[in-house]
Amino acid sequence: MAVTSSMKVGALMVVVLMVIGLPSGTNAQRWKGGAHITFYGSPNGGGTQAGACGYQNTYKLGYGSMTAALSSPLFRGGSACGACYQIRCAPVRRTRTARNWCYSYARTITITATNLCPPGSTGGWCNPPRAHFDLPMPAFLTLARREGGVAPVYYRKVRCAKRGGIRFTIGGNPWFLMVLIHNVGGAGDMRSVRVKGQYTNWYPMYRNWGALWTVRTKLSGALSFAVTTSNGRTVVARNVVGKWWKFGQTWEARTNFRY
């Protein structure tokens, strides 16, 4: 059973809290093998809410327990944050030392990448070059028995179908704007972000860490964002943040990614 460490950001007050994920549909990649799943946290998902993507509380943001801490080859320094993966158990040839702990080879779950399972975790499952998913216990138990602790799986990246628009939680300070971007549909993981103040041109943001994006420019008035996901698609949310915004607020765009 892998043990992950969580990275946390200072608490942000959230205006819009509910994010509801829907099952992923078409446009999935081909299945890949050679990966495994373990679990961390408590039976109710405690200890898995925060993590290296900066989401702080995945339950309050609507991701629930269907999340995963990825090994570093999959996490890619945080650029995988928000991506959705479909997972199903892989066949196991039973021997004296190996046993199939999964309920069914046909059963699948879809998870969102929200955390990092760092190298050196118990068992070495997250050590490079392994592809590994450390799941909250409720997610693990939908596929395999707890006593097994680990199970081989197939996995593939799928689209993230989200209800509602992309959401922007405003943090930082007047000269260091740091925005948590979440509830991103489509590919889910972001390649680049630009921001525009009410009286400025567009400025590129850089990934501070995980799903937190930063610009070192003082901006005022209504804010617009252009979000580009890993598949090259872009959504422009114009004036999504109101003119009198305050730090700690969350604003929701009227649009999201569609395939």
Q: Is the pLDDT of residue 19 over 50?
A: no
More confident residue, 46 or 137: 137
CB 221 within 8 A of CB 199: yes
What is the pLDDT, as a whole number, of residue 195?
98
pLDDT (average), residues 130-154: 95
CB 110 within 8 A of CB 66: yes
Instruction: Report the predicted TM-score, pTM, of the whole model to 2 decimal places.
Output: 0.86
Q: How many CA atoms lie within 13 A of 44 on its CB side?
A: 2
Q: Is the pLDDT of residue 189 over 90?
A: yes
Q: Is the pLDDT of residue 22 over 70?
A: no
Q: Is the pLDDT of residue 23 over 50?
A: no
CB 15 within 8 A of CB 242: no
From the DSSP assignment, how many helices (H) and strands (E) are in the chain?
Answer: 2, 16
Task: Give the type of residue at 38.
Answer: T
> What is the three-state SS of 141-165?
CCCECHHHCCEEEEEEEECEEEECC
Q: Is the pLDDT of residue 76 over 80?
A: yes
What is the pLDDT, as a whole number, of residue 27?
57
Report helix, strand or coil for 72: helix
pLDDT band for 122, please (50, 70, 90 cuts).
confident
d(CA 205, CA 181): 12
d(CA 113, CA 118): 14
Q: Is the pLDDT of residue 254 over 50?
A: yes
What is the pLDDT, as a whole number, of residue 59?
92
pLDDT (average), residues 209-226: 96
What is the pLDDT, as a whole number, of residue 99?
74
Supply the mean pLDDT for the chain. Answer: 88
Q: Could you tell me the sign of the dihedral formed by the alpha carbons of 123, 112, 213, 78, in that order?
A: positive
What is the pLDDT, as a whole number, of residue 21?
36
What is the pLDDT, as a whole number, of residue 79?
97
pLDDT band for 236, please (50, 70, 90 cuts).
very high
The pLDDT tens digits of the residues spanning 158-182 come to: 999 899 999 999 999 989 999 999 9
pLDDT (average), residues 206-222: 96
Q: Is the pLDDT of residue 16 over 60?
A: no
Q: Is the pLDDT of residue 14 over 60?
A: no
d(CA 62, CA 149): 26
